[in-house]
Structure 1
Amino acid sequence: MISHDPNKIEEQKQAAIDLLKRELEDLKLDLSDLQDNKDDIEAIIEDIEDQIDARGEDGEWFERASRALSANRNLLRQERDKIIKKRNAIRAIERQLFEGPKIKGSIPAAHHERIVSQRDARVASLVGKISILNQQRKIYRDCVSVYLPTFVADLDVRAQELEDAAPRAEKEEA
């Protein structure tokens, strides 16, 4: 169940951090062991190659040495793959420790800061847009309250002039 109590959330975060740290230490020990295994396999490969160089490439011995060399190279490749996986796991845990553990119902601090800054940018943008809209509304209100009545009055005067001019124009034509 998700707890909204800040103390409980902090306790959960601390427990998650402790667990991640223990897991990180275990992975580092595993990585050290894998590195030692890799070094041992490389030493075996070098010994086999040295013996091949010393004895030559003929006979049944060479075939056994070649098979052993091939098998050890495959083991070396597998150890390297394991090392890469352990390093990736270590990086993932270090990233989680840096960002903060993910507790159900909460978000990592770095992600929270990014969300807050994006929200603040959106709010600032909206405030700017609202300010522009308020300015435009004021301009339109001024147009309606000042310029439109003047324009309508000018139209009324012009219409009256045209009405007065129409009977004169009819008289002049007649």
Structure 2
Amino acid sequence: MAKTLVVTAVVLTVFCLCSLANADGQNISKIFVEGKVYCDPCRVQFQTRISEPIDGATVELQCRSRVNSTVFNKLQGKTNKDGLYTLSVDEDYANEICEVKTVSSPRADCNDRFNDFEKARVLITNNNGVASTARYANPLGFMKKEAVPECEQVLKELFPEEQTDE
């Protein structure tokens, strides 16, 4: 009986110590930040049916303090032939602001930066009710130097003129 009590006490102590070691939330399972980088041939800063994935674009994930500009993590990655990237994060950044941004495009014909949407914010924590380890960033892109002729038709499809019933 006494031996069982001692074993139970040891097991509970080990369990409590392990729980306390992970209480700060810093040791989490990996979170994978995923996203896409594309070429905007129409210079409209959103994807259209003629947008193209950029192979080899560099993106950077940066997590910084909400209070000051202290940066806690910087991680870079490259896109594949489909314009997709995956960045693996090993720490919890529930209290920080994390954003993915474009760094560079290997395409000389499509390397103008977006004016308004060059970053995508992502929440990197396991303490948010999401069961998946994947976090998806909004698509990011670069623009061609000048819009291609097909853009006129593409934009007419997206924003048809109002038709009147006469």
Scaled by the length of structure 1, the TM-score of the pair is 0.22
More strand by share: 2
Structure number with greater Rg is 1
Pick the structure with more helix per residue: 1
